[in-house]
């Protein structure tokens, strides 16, 4: 049974979400502070961690950064903040996804299932040695990205996004298609895609304002091409 750890300081939300997740078939654990949550995750090694941003003491951003230092557990932010700046900051800290409160439990459960499907799909993916776009090299088996031979540090989600675009060279993929294929969602906030594309551009483009590899096709979506 899949274990989920919820780090949330609001007693009412923590209790209701924990009970709702258990009704959906998950083994749910909870913590009221980031410090408690970090200790619980070291002990439990839950399959997924849900983190609120507005926590007492250590905030959610630092909690995510510390979680990410210890392991590669999928992290979903569950927050009342819906500003793009907050979404960017949470993803920069290491979160995999972002859900805005009030959250429907069915939607949250769907996202948790999508994370599991994503992990299974990654393990079953065909063994492609390397995908090359000019000076950009993507090595799906090794989980590596290189630019002119130099390693480029990317997160797991950025890597999956880059691989999905690389699997369709020169083809425009819409934000909704990328949400479905990379995140596994039938619906969701398309800003998550935009944020990850922006982060990738800062890492692989010489000038992220005038991208040559990861290109926007206005009104349609994104494509990966050799310059």
Given a cut of 80, whether residue 165 has pLDDT beyond it is: yes
Mean pLDDT, all residues of the chain: 89
Q: Residue 218: pLDDT above 70?
A: yes
Q: What pLDDT shows up at residue 91?
A: 84
Segment 7-19 shows an average pLDDT of: 95
Between 103 and 52, the higher pLDDT residue: 52
What local confidence, expressed as pLDDT, does residue 122 receive?
Answer: 54
Helix (H) or strand (E) holding 76: strand 75-79
Instruction: Look at residue 114 in the predicted model and tell me its pLDDT.
Output: 77
pLDDT band at 119 (very low <50, low <70, confident <90, very high): low
pLDDT attached to residue 109: 86
Residues of the chain with CATH 1.10.10.10: 131-224
pLDDT score of 211:
95
Point out which residues pair with 3 in neighbouring strands: 27
Q: Is 221 left (phi over 0), alpha (psi -120 to 50) or beta?
A: left
DSSP state of 173: B
Which secondary-structure segment (H or E) carries 138? strand 136-139
- Res. 74: pLDDT tops 90: no
The residue among 183 and 167 whose pLDDT is bigger is 167
DSSP state of 4: E
SS3 192: helix
Tokens of 3: 């274990």
In the predicted structure, residue 112 carries a pLDDT above the cut 90? no
Sorted by sequence, the CB contacts under 8 Å of residue 13 that are 6+ apart come out as 52, 101
CA 135/CA 83 separation, integer angstroms? 35
Task: Report residue 181 CA to chain centroid gap.
Answer: 13
Phi (first) and psi of residue 24, to 5 degrees: -85, 0
Percentage of the chain lying above the pLDDT 70 cut: 93
Q: Please give the pLDDT value at position 88.
A: 83
User: Where in the chain is CATH 3.40.50.2300?
Assistant: 3-123
Nearest CA to 111 among 62, 154, 77, 71? 77
Burial (CB count <10 Å: 0-12, 13-18, 19+), residue 145: buried
To which residue do tokens 């926007």 refer?
Answer: 216
Name which of 4-8, 92-96, 180-184, 185-189 the model is least confident about: 185-189
**Site of tokens 């050799």:** 226
Which band of pLDDT confidence, cut at 50, 70 and 90, is reported for residue 189?
confident
* Fold of the domain built from segment(s) 131-224: Arc Repressor Mutant, subunit A (1.10.10)
Q: What is the pLDDT of residues 19-37, one digit of tens each?
A: 999 999 999 999 999 999 9
Position 105 scores a pLDDT of 86
The answer, yes or no, to whether residue 195 has pLDDT greater than 70, is yes
Rounded CA-CA distance 189/30 in Å is 26
pLDDT interval class at 187 (50, 70, 90): low
How far apart, in whole angstroms, are the C-alpha atoms of residue 83 and residue 86?
A: 5
Helices within the chain (DSSP H only): 11-23, 34-44, 60-70, 84-93, 105-123, 156-166, 175-178, 191-204
Question: Is the pLDDT confidence value at 125 over 70?
Answer: no
Class of the CATH-defined domain 3-123: alpha beta
> From CA 22, how far away is CA 20, in angstroms rounded?
5
Please give the share of the chain, as a percent, with pLDDT higher than 90: 60
CB 116 within 8 A of CB 177: no
Residue 39, pLDDT above cutoff 80: yes
């Amino acid at each position: 049974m899949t274990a989920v750890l919820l780090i949330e300081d609001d007693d009412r939300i923590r209790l209701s979400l924990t009970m709702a997740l258990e009704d959906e078939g998950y083994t749910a654990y909870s913590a009221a502070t980031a410090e408690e949550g970090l200790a619980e995750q070291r002990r439990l090694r839950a399959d997924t961690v849900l983190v609120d941003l507005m926590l007492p003491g250590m905030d959610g951003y630092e909690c995510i950064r510390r979680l990410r230092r210890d392991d590669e557990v999928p992290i979903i932010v569950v927050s009342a903040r819906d500003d793009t700046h907050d979404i960017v900051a949470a993803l920069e800290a290491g979160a995999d996804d972002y859900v805005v409160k009030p959250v429907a439990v069915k939607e949250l459960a769907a996202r948790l299932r999508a994370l599991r499907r994503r992990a299974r799909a990654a393990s079953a993916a065909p063994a492609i040695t390397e995908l090359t776009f000019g000076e950009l090299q993507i090595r799906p088996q090794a989980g590596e990205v290189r630019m002119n031979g130099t390693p480029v540090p990317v997160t797991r989600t950025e890597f999956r996004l880059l691989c999905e675009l690389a699997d369709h060279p020169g083809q425009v993929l819409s934000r909704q298609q990328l949400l479905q294929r990379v995140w596994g969602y039938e619906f969701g906030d398309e800003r998550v895609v935009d944020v990850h594309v922006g982060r990738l551009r800062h890492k692989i483009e010489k000038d992220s304002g005038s991208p040559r590899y990861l290109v926007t096709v206005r009104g349609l979506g994104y494509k990966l091409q050799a310059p």
